[in-house]
Amino acid sequence: MKLNALVLGLAGAILAAICMLLLSLANYFGIYQTAALTMQEIHMFYSPDFWGTITGMIEAAIMSFVGLFVFGWLYNRFTK
């Protein structure tokens, strides 16, 4: 069975961006503030304000897309 590496990457990118948005919303309401601070240390462009959330979502989407696309591509190569 082959994986569609492009679709896998896109699904991961969308999920990562949504998770980043939810983390920022939770931080705004006082929930998971430590997780937001940790995310700010890990991600280069993330901060819990509006523009930091947008750039963090883009960064997380790109990182997830690349990682999952490579994973799907390698999976297809090894399962021939």
- CA 47 to chain centroid, in Å, comes to 14
Prediction pTM value = 0.89
**DSSP state, 3?**
-
Closest of 27, 33, 24 to residue 60, by C-alpha: 24
Sign, Cα dihedral of 20, 26, 28, 33: negative
Q: What is the pLDDT of residues 26-76, one digit of tens each?
A: 999 999 999 999 999 999 999 989 999 999 999 999 999 999 999 999 999
Yes or no: say if 14 and 24 are a contact pair by the CB < 8 Å rule: no
pLDDT of residue 1: 83
User: How does pLDDT run across 2-16, given as a tens digit for each residue?
Assistant: 999 999 999 999 999
